[in-house]
Structure 1
Amino acid sequence: MIKSLRGRLFIGLTAIILVTGAIGGTFAYNWAFGEAIEMQDSVLIQLASLAQGHGFSGGQPLHGVEEDTEVWLIESGKAPQGAADDRELFTLRDGLQVATWKSQPVRVLLRTRSDGSRFAVAQPTAVRDETARDVAFRTLLPIAVLIPCLMVVTALVIAHSLRPMVRLAGDLDARRADDMTPLPLEGTPSEMHPFIVSINGLLARMHLLIDQQRRFVADAAHELRTPITALSLQAENLDSVALPETARERVVALKQGMTRTKHLVEQLLALARHEGIASSPAGMPLASLDGVAREVVAGLLPVSLDHGIDLGFALVEPVTVRGEPVMLAAIIRNLLDNALRFTPPGGTIDVGICRENNAAILQVEDTGPGIALADMDQVFEPFFRSSPPEGEGTGLGLSIVKRIVDSLGGGIALENVASAGRSGLRVTIRLPVAEAAAERPE
């Protein structure tokens, strides 16, 4: 069973064209065949009228008529004479009829002159039928040529008619997963309007659902921030209290757990905040990507020193992009947090910023274990962690980075780095360079 609407339309219309052409061709063939026979009868009548006043000594071809038509004039006299076929012709009545002459069927026209003598104009029926068939087949030629042309035109019309549907499908495929903009009705066939209205209704419901989910996450994370902060302060106050060694170890574990929980809450708030960013960066302010990167790296230097990791710039060039500095800082900070978490002591983290054509390149490369190939397609999903999980991450860092980069009209790529005695992960982010020739922001 054909599932393609285009295939069904083409096969259905093609079948209609072929059946109509066959029926029309049959009628046209029969009509043309009959007309050709009648025309040949008219020729016999005209020839008989010309020979009405002339006598002939016997059967002979008519002069001035093409030889391949094989038209004969037969003089029968006033009484039956000659061969049996000639005598039989004499006995027939005047007019057009079919007879046998010289052992072959002929179409014959007999006439009687005023003096009583008779003559006949005859033509073999095989010649007449062949001529009629040739005329009929020539009548079918335009239909035979028209049918393939109609099939081609039908295919083009179907393709043109379904082009809005194909274009609509392409627009939907090209959209980002969180783009819930309604589909336009203008410029689309009226038959597609119910379909488009249904899709727009579905997009509206999905948008409402996503907003509710985002508000829930943001509200829950915000409500958790206050008690977690209070618990952290209480845990800090225990440092001044004389406690047994076992209790102090438990306080240290408690403080570490509170730190992880606080970090999770902050990441949830960041995720909820950046999921609501508009998809177009055109209205965002200009920002110095290299300046934001310097600030973030400077803030994380003490952490890198504590872990014995060499954090610094491999390349830094002045590049201006459109985006909130807070958003750019969130991108760089999450990438560096991941790199610091997975890079072993003694390792290095290199940050590179440069311009390549019309793209600003941000690259972070570490000397950690990299990402398993099986996990490469899932690392941008919220709360996804490698198997087995490593470190104390929440699984939200790369998800937040991906959402911010998408909202800025950029792209992100991950690549495992492997060479002699070295491994690591290279993250490359491409952002559009700001087109406005404005002053470089501070």
Structure 2
Amino acid sequence: MIRSLRGRLFAGLTAIILLTGIAGGLFAHHWAFNEAIEMQDSVLIQIAGLVQTGSLTGGRELHGVDEDAEVWLIDQAATPQASGDELKLWSLEDGLALATRGGQSIRVLLRTRSDGTRFAVAQRTSVRDEIASDMAFRTVLPIAALIPCLLLVTAIVIARSLRPMVRLADDLDGRRADDMTALPAAQMPSELHPFIASINGLLQRVCLLMDQQRRFVADAAHELRTPITALSLQAENLDPIDLPADARDRLAALRQGIRRTRHLVEQLLALARQDAGPSDGATMPIVALDGVAKEVVADVLPEAASRGVDLGFARVEPASICGEAVMLVAVVRKLLDNALRFTQHGGRIDACVYRDGDSAILQIEDTGPGVSPDEIDRIFEPFFRGQRPEGDGVGLGLSIVKRIVDRLGGSIEAVNIVASGRAGFRVLVKLPLATDRA
């Protein structure tokens, strides 16, 4: 069964065109064949009229009447000793009839002159059928040539008719995941209006659910900040108290859990801010990406030195983009934090900022263990930490980075570095360069 709507339409219309063409061709062939036979009978009648007026004499083959007609004029007076076929021929009544002469079937027209003598105008039926078949074939030939043209026109019409659906699909495929703008119904065929209205209704419901989810996450994170801060203070107040070793271990575990919870709340708040913020990059200020990267690297440098990690720039070029400075700081900081978390003592982290055509490139490369090939496509999902979680992370850092990059109209890619004598992990962020504003 054909699942494609275009295929169904083309197959159905092709079947209709072929059946109609075959039926029309058979009818046209039959009609043209009979017309050709009648026309040849008319030629015989015209020749007989000329003979009766004395313009032609019988007993010979007539040339010049029709090059391929092979018409004979037979005079009874010229054949006094008639054979069996001749006797049967002259025994027929005046008019058109079928007879046999010399072992061949003929179409014959017999007439009687005023003096009582008879003559016949004859033509072989095989010649008549050949001429009629040739004329009928020439009549059907244009119909046969028209069918492929109709099929081509049908394919073009179907493709142009379904083009609005293709444009609609391309519009949906090219949207960001958070773009819930209603689909335009203008300039669309009326048959698509119910479908577009249903899709727009679905988009509105999804947008409402997403807004509710964002508000819930933001409200929950705000509500959790106060009790978490109170717990943190209470835990710190226990430091001066002389506690048994077992209690000290439990207190350390409690403080670590509080730190992780506070970090989770901060990440959730950051995620909520990115989801709630405007996504129109044209209205954002122009920010120097290289300057932001230098400031963040300078802030992270002491922590990298304490971990024994060599952090620095491998390449820095001026590059400006449209965006908020806090957004770019969050991107660079979270990428560096992620690299520091997985880079071992004595490792290296290289940052790069440069221009590539119409894009600004931010690249963070480390000498860590990398990510499993089975997990590398999921590292930008919220709360995904993989098989080798490190530190107090909750799996939201790279997800927040991707949200920010998407809002800025860019793209992000993560790959494992596999080279001779070298291994690591590379994250490459591509953002559109800022254009001069009038």
Task: Specify the alignment match of 2:71 in structure 1.
Answer: 71
The residue aligned with 2:188 is 188
- For residues 417 and 105 of structure 1, do their structure 2 counterparts lie closer, same or farther at Cα, with a shift above 3 Å needed? closer
- How do 1:130-169 and structure 2 match up within 5 A? 130-169=130-169
Q: TM-score, normalised by structure 1?
A: 0.93
Structure 2 counterpart of 1:159, one-letter code: A
Task: Report the CA distance shift for 1:86/1:209 in structure 2 as closer, same or farther (over 3 A).
Answer: same
Q: C-alpha displacement at 1:102, in angstroms?
A: 2.4
- What is aligned with 1:225? 225
2:202 aligned partner = 202
* Cα distance between partner residues in 1 of 2:203 and 2:371: 34
CA separation in 2, counterparts of 1:408 and 1:232? 36
Structure 1, residues 237-281: CA drift from partner, whole Å, max 9, x if none?
A: 333344444434433332222111111100011112212344431
Q: Is the 8 A contact 2:349 2:366 kept in 1?
A: yes
**Partner of 1:393: helix, strand, or coil?**
coil
| Distance verdict in 2 for CA 1:435–1:46, change over 3 Å | same
1:78 to partner: Cα distance: 11
- State the aligned residue count: 438
SS at match of 1:395: coil
Going from structure 1 to structure 2, the CA distance change for 1:177 and 1:84 (only over 3 Å counts) comes to same
* Runs of 5+ consecutive residues of structure 2 not aligned to the other structure: none
Are the structure 2 counterparts of residues 103 and 421 from structure 1 closer, same or farther at C-alpha, using a change threshold of 3 Å? closer
Which runs of structure 2 are paired with 1:359-370 in the superposition (5 Å)?
359-370=359-370
Q: 1:248 to 1:87 in 2, by over 3 A?
A: closer
The correspondence of residues 346-361 of structure 1 with structure 2, limited to 5 A, is 346-361=346-361
> Aligned to 1:131, what secondary structure does the other structure show?
helix
Q: What is the CA-CA distance between 1:317 and the residue it aligns to?
A: 2.6
- CA distance, structure 2, for counterparts of residue 248 and residue 79 of structure 1: 143
Separation of aligned partners in 2, 1:401 and 1:392: 18
Q: Summarize deviations over 1:301-357 as a string: whole Å, max 9, x none.
A: 332233232323233232211001111111111111111211122322222212222
2: CA distance, partners of 1:294 / 1:401: 18
SS in 2 for 1:311: strand
Equivalent pair of 2:85/2:100 in contact (CA under 8 Å):
yes
Q: Indicate how the Cα distance of structure 1 residues 422 and 22 shifts in structure 2: closer, same or farther if over 3 A, else same.
A: closer
Structure 2 match to 1:408: 408
CA distance in 1, matches of 2:86, 2:346: 125
Question: Aligned partners of 1:239, 1:331: CA distance in 2, in Å?
Answer: 36
Distance 1:313 1:231 in 2: 40
1:191 CA drift (Å): 1.0
Bigger CA drift: 337-346 or 42-51?
Answer: 337-346
For normalisation by structure 2, the TM-score amounts to 0.94
- 1:106 and 1:298, CA in 2 relative to 1: closer, same or farther beyond 3 A? same
Give the superposition deviation at 1:153. Answer: 1.2
Match of 2:432 in 1: 432
- The aligned counterpart of 2:50 is 50
- What SS does structure 2 have at the residue aligned with 1:2? coil
Structure 1: gaps (5+ residues): none
| Cα offset, 1:300, TM superposition | 2.3
Q: What CA distance in whole angstroms lies between the structure 1 residues aligned with 2:63 and 2:426?
A: 100
Measured after TM superposition, the shift of residue 15 of structure 1 is 0.7
Letter in 2 for 1:90: W
Matching of residues 290-369 of structure 1 within 5 Å: 290-369=290-369
- SS of match in other structure, 2:338: helix
- Greater Cα shift, 63-72 or 117-126: 63-72
Q: What letter is aligned with 1:235? A: A
CA–CA distance in 1 between the matches of 2:289 and 2:67?
97
Task: Write the distance in 2 (CA, Å) between the matches of 1:431 and 1:209.
Answer: 30
Moved more, 394-403 or 339-348: 339-348
Provide the residue aligned with 1:27 in structure 2. Answer: 27
8 Å CA contact retained: 2:321, 2:434: yes
Q: Which amino acid aligns with 1:70?
A: E
Q: Counterparts of 1:428 and 1:79 in 2: how far apart (Å)?
A: 108
| Residue in structure 2 matched with residue 92 of structure 1 by the alignment | 92
Q: Is the 8 A contact 2:18 2:147 kept in 1?
A: yes
The answer (yes or no) to whether the contact 1:80–1:90 under 8 Å persists in 2 is no
* 8 A Cα contact 1:96 1:109, kept in partner: yes
| 1:165, distance to aligned residue in structure 2 (A) | 1.2
Root-mean-square deviation (Å) = 2.1
User: Structure 1 residues 363 and 57, CA, compared in 2 at 3 Å: closer, same or farther?
Assistant: closer
Rate the CA distance shift 1:166–1:420 in 2: closer, same or farther, 3 A. closer
User: 2:177 maps to what in 1?
Assistant: 177
Give me the whole-angstrom Cα distance separating, in 1, the residues matched to 2:172 and 2:40.
Answer: 68
In the superposition, relative to structure 1, how do residues 115 and 272 fare at CA in structure 2: closer, same or farther (>3 Å)? same
**Pair 1:128–1:421, CA change in 2 (3 A):** closer
Question: Is the partner of 1:240 in helix, strand or coil?
Answer: coil
Q: Which amino acid aligns with 1:212?
A: Q
Q: Secondary structure in 1 aligned to 2:203?
A: helix
What corresponds to 2:110 in structure 1?
A: 110
Following superposition, the deviation at residue 106 of structure 1 comes to 1.4
3-state DSSP class of the match of 1:373? coil
Letter matched to residue 400 of structure 2: I
